[in-house]
Chain A
Amino acid sequence: MQELQYPFDSRYIIKKKKSIKRQLLEQGGSFLDKKIAVLGGSTTHDVCAIMELFLLDMGIRPQFYECEYAQYWEDVMFDNPELVSFKPDIIYIHTSNRNIRNYPDMSMGSDEVDALLDADYDHYFKMWGKIENTYHCAVIQNNFEYPFYRLLGNADATDIHGRVSYINRLNERFAAYAREHKDFFIQDINYLSASYGLDKWSDPLYWHMYKYALSMEAIPTLAYNVSNIIKSIYGKNKKALALDLDNTLWGGIVGDDGVENLEIGPETSMGQVYSEFQGYIKQLKDIGVILNVCSKNEEENAIAGLNHPDGVLKPDDFILIKANWDPKSKNLADTAAELNLLPESFVFVDDNPAEREIVRTQLNVVSPEIGSVEDYIRVIDHSGFFEVTNFSADDKKRNEMYKENAKRAQLEASFENYGDYLVSLQMEGTIKGFEPIYMERIAQLSNKSNQFNLTTRRYTRAEIEEIAESDEYIDIYGKLEDKFGDNGVVSVVIGHKNGDILDMDLWIMSCRVLKRDMEFAMMDELVREAKKAGIKRIKGYYYPTPKNKMVKDFYALMGFELVNEDEDGNRIWEFEVTDDYEDRNHYINVNGRKGEA
């Protein structure tokens, strides 16, 4: 919903929250259901109410647990039975500087201030440890906003007695904890409140009147920000950018003005601001955002513009460059299809409001109101499309991988026989039980895969680790390399044992290795493991979502028989494990065993 996209009108959202919620639910669609415990040190009613709007808009339907007023610590430490039985997927600890129990006073020596800091930190440290042991769920913790006044003026930041100094030190301890703990995320309200305006954020009226730690108008900013963390944890980040060129990546129109007259580079202030924007886009590439061009231009002119000597972005930084006169909605849909991504994984960036509107309405793709060129970075950044929660080696290499895929597509076109092409790829697979170095990636894949996903079940890293340790499961990951490069971990299969039956909980594969025999190689290993465990029958489940139609008949392809289908399209399949099972994969050399080509 456009009203919930950054930059949003906070007061409109506050006033209309009931009708916005009604509209979001009426729109329907499929939601990911998540249980979120909000443990606050202040009133949290509207924080939840407004989080709900943003989360629904992001495809997540939250169910909330709210602690009694300011009982965040007691709820955790004394095992409030309501919280225990709620079984949260996420615990959001919304505390603020109003909850800091001790502040230094001017009479204290530095040892005393250090001891005070230890005590304040310990209060949280114990609680986080307790959560980790009891709930095994993701935790989002606010750090602290700055105080709204400074007793020592500017020295508040340097003098050990200053609250600014004290909060800085406490926040650094929180950050250090986050670096050491997976599934623990800091919501940086220190930055958020500064960006919003601390005086407006910390209006004392809201604390004294209503016991809100921030002003009502700031709540949508807080709620949007934490919703972005949550959607990122559940793999709902955007993955790619589709960028217009003229007056978006440079000033001027390359086809009319000529390359030499474009505004880009250090010569003019307009050139500088476009350079800064190109630099920002290039940084997004470094965190794994896939860059593409979607421009109404002659291709020749588009490439010439991107080769401008002062440009930061070069043609090589993009995976696909669509520069032609077709509607942008068509170009974007084609780009998505060629990359095996869903259109909704894209953010479309264009200076032209009419193009934005067409792409939004035709494809349901997000296209921010980016404003004037000097606003572009702020709008895209504050939108939180690419909020980083688990940054993996794969994210770092993603653009490279898509480049390799483009080369594979070229190679494929040069073979008449698809099998010959697969042979030429010289594929090496590693298919094994879960291993510690891949836990992060396995959890990430379970949260990101939507299309090739039979059950759409999501796992946290902690759950993946539990499964790996337990004897009750057969758990397998698959990694695929070929002559162009390493695709990394691309497939995960989890089944739980039920006597001599194996119930398949999860079967996922990254779409970038479709039609490479990888699914067959996974099946072969699954059967091998099942035999070892004395399994006689494997039961496969398919639960339809709007996105996973491609695997509706997947189990048939693997040799399963359909035993049941209900009116919602949920399917149950069965496979007899027999001694005469023959490997289905013919092209991937798995675990160093020579496959026959």
Chain B
Amino acid sequence: MSREEIYNRLNEVFRDVFDRDDITLSDETTAADVEGWDSLIHITLMDAVEEEFEIRFDMKTVVKMKNVGELADAIEKLL
């Protein structure tokens, strides 16, 4: 799957979870850039991303992620 396709699908997941259609992610996007992205909704996001890509993150991966770029990296590795 191309990086671009990963981002297309990530955008969809984020839009679903936040129930807003104006979200566009990039490698540098962090929780601070998306309104309402707190630690609680983060759990929902991780679950929804796992479902979208039919993958499962282990704890080490989840703990380390700093921005959306690293999330996309982790997805790439698992596909």
Establish whether residues A216 and B43, one from each chain, have CB atoms under 8 Å apart when the complex forms.
yes
Establish whether residues B18 and A15, one from each chain, have CB atoms under 8 Å apart when the complex forms.
no
Establish whether residues B19 and A14, one from each chain, have CB atoms under 8 Å apart when the complex forms.
no
Mark each residue of chain B from 55 to 73: 1 if its CB lies under 8 Å from any CB of chain A, else 0.
0001100110000000000
Which of A17-25, A390-398, A502-510 contacts its partner? A17-25
Question: Closest Cβ of chain B: how far from A20's Cβ, in Å?
Answer: 9
Establish whether residues A46 and B51, one from each chain, have CB atoms under 8 Å apart when the complex forms.
no
* Cα distance, A11 to B58, chains bound together (Å): 18
A208 at the interface (CB under 8 A from B): yes
Question: Closest Cβ of chain A: how far from B9's Cβ, in Å?
Answer: 12
* Cα distance, A11 to B13, chains bound together (Å): 12
Closest residue of chain B to A217 (Cβ to Cβ) is: B47
Interface residues of A toward B: which range? 10 to 19
Establish whether residues A18 and B19, one from each chain, have CB atoms under 8 Å apart when the complex forms.
yes
Establish whether residues B48 and A15, one from each chain, have CB atoms under 8 Å apart when the complex forms.
yes
| Chain A residues within 8 Å of B16, by CB | 15-16, 19
Q: CB within 8 A of B19: which of A22, A43, A208, A209? A: A22
| Chain A residues within 8 Å of B43, by CB | 46, 206, 209-210, 212, 216
| Chain A residues within 8 Å of B17, by CB | 15, 18
A45 at the interface (CB under 8 A from B): yes
A interface majority secondary structure: helix
Q: CB within 8 A of B44: which of A22, A43, A46, A206? A: A46
Establish whether residues A45 and B13, one from each chain, have CB atoms under 8 Å apart when the complex forms.
no
A108 at the interface (CB under 8 A from B): no
Establish whether residues B44 and A15, one from each chain, have CB atoms under 8 Å apart when the complex forms.
yes
Establish whether residues A15 and B13, one from each chain, have CB atoms under 8 Å apart when the complex forms.
yes
Closest residue of chain A to B57 (Cβ to Cβ) is: A205
Closest residue of chain A to B42 (Cβ to Cβ) is: A210
Mark each residue of chain B from 1 to 33: 1 if its CB lies under 8 Å from any CB of chain A, else 0.
000000000000100111100000000000000
Closest residue of chain A to B40 (Cβ to Cβ) is: A45
* Cα distance, A369 to B31, chains bound together (Å): 39
| Chain B residues within 8 Å of A216, by CB | 43-44, 47
Question: Closest Cβ of chain A: how far from B29's Cβ, in Å?
Answer: 19
Establish whether residues B51 and A15, one from each chain, have CB atoms under 8 Å apart when the complex forms.
yes
Mark each residue of chain A from 27 to 43: 1 if its CB lies under 8 Å from any CB of chain B, else 0.
00000000000000001
Establish whether residues A11 and B40, one from each chain, have CB atoms under 8 Å apart when the complex forms.
no
Residue among A18, A46, A208 having the largest count of chain B Cβ atoms under 10 Å: A18
Establish whether residues A209 and B51, one from each chain, have CB atoms under 8 Å apart when the complex forms.
no
* Cα distance, A216 to B45, chains bound together (Å): 11
| Chain B residues within 8 Å of A43, by CB | 40
* Cα distance, A205 to B62, chains bound together (Å): 10
* Cα distance, A428 to B17, chains bound together (Å): 61
Considering the complex, which residues of chain A in the window 197-227 have a beta carbon less than 8 Å from any beta carbon of chain B? 205-206, 208-210, 212, 216-217
Closest residue of chain B to A17 (Cβ to Cβ) is: B44
Closest residue of chain A to B19 (Cβ to Cβ) is: A18
Q: Given that A19-B16, A46-B44, A210-B43 are known contacts, is A11 also in contact with B51, CB under 8 Å in the complex?
A: yes
Question: Closest Cβ of chain B: how far from A69's Cβ, in Å?
Answer: 12
Establish whether residues A14 and B48, one from each chain, have CB atoms under 8 Å apart when the complex forms.
yes
Question: Closest Cβ of chain A: how far from B56's Cβ, in Å?
Answer: 9
Q: Given that A15-B17, A18-B18, A22-B19 are known contacts, is A209 also in contact with B44, CB under 8 Å in the complex?
A: no
| Chain B residues within 8 Å of A15, by CB | 13, 16-17, 44, 47-48, 51
* Cα distance, A45 to B13, chains bound together (Å): 20
Closest residue of chain B to A208 (Cβ to Cβ) is: B59
* Cα distance, A212 to B59, chains bound together (Å): 14
Establish whether residues A46 and B59, one from each chain, have CB atoms under 8 Å apart when the complex forms.
no
Q: Given that A18-B19, A22-B19, A216-B43 are known contacts, is A209 also in contact with B63, CB under 8 Å in the complex?
A: yes
* Cα distance, A22 to B62, chains bound together (Å): 30
| Chain B residues within 8 Å of A217, by CB | 47
* Cα distance, A395 to B67, chains bound together (Å): 57
Question: Closest Cβ of chain B: how far from A40's Cβ, in Å?
Answer: 13
| Chain A residues within 8 Å of B44, by CB | 14-15, 17, 46, 216
Question: Closest Cβ of chain B: how far from A564's Cβ, in Å?
Answer: 43
Closest residue of chain A to B38 (Cβ to Cβ) is: A45
Question: Closest Cβ of chain A: how far from B70's Cβ, in Å?
Answer: 16
Question: Closest Cβ of chain A: how far from B39's Cβ, in Å?
Answer: 8
Establish whether residues A209 and B59, one from each chain, have CB atoms under 8 Å apart when the complex forms.
yes
* Cα distance, A261 to B58, chains bound together (Å): 55
Establish whether residues A46 and B40, one from each chain, have CB atoms under 8 Å apart when the complex forms.
yes
Closest residue of chain A to B59 (Cβ to Cβ) is: A205
Establish whether residues A11 and B18, one from each chain, have CB atoms under 8 Å apart when the complex forms.
no
Closest residue of chain B to A19 (Cβ to Cβ) is: B19
Question: Closest Cβ of chain B: how far from A123's Cβ, in Å?
Answer: 28
* Cα distance, A556 to B47, chains bound together (Å): 58
Closest residue of chain B to A20 (Cβ to Cβ) is: B19
* Cα distance, A22 to B40, chains bound together (Å): 19
- What are 10 A-B pairs with beta-carbon distances under 8 A? A11-B48, A17-B44, A18-B18, A46-B43, A208-B59, A209-B43, A209-B63, A216-B43, A216-B47, A217-B47
Q: Which 3 A-B pairs have the closest CB atoms?
A: A18-B19, A15-B48, A11-B51
Q: A205-B62, A209-B63 are in contact. List 17 more A-B contacts (CB 8 A).
A: A14-B47, A15-B13, A15-B16, A15-B44, A15-B47, A15-B48, A16-B16, A18-B18, A19-B16, A19-B19, A46-B43, A208-B59, A209-B43, A209-B59, A216-B43, A216-B47, A217-B47
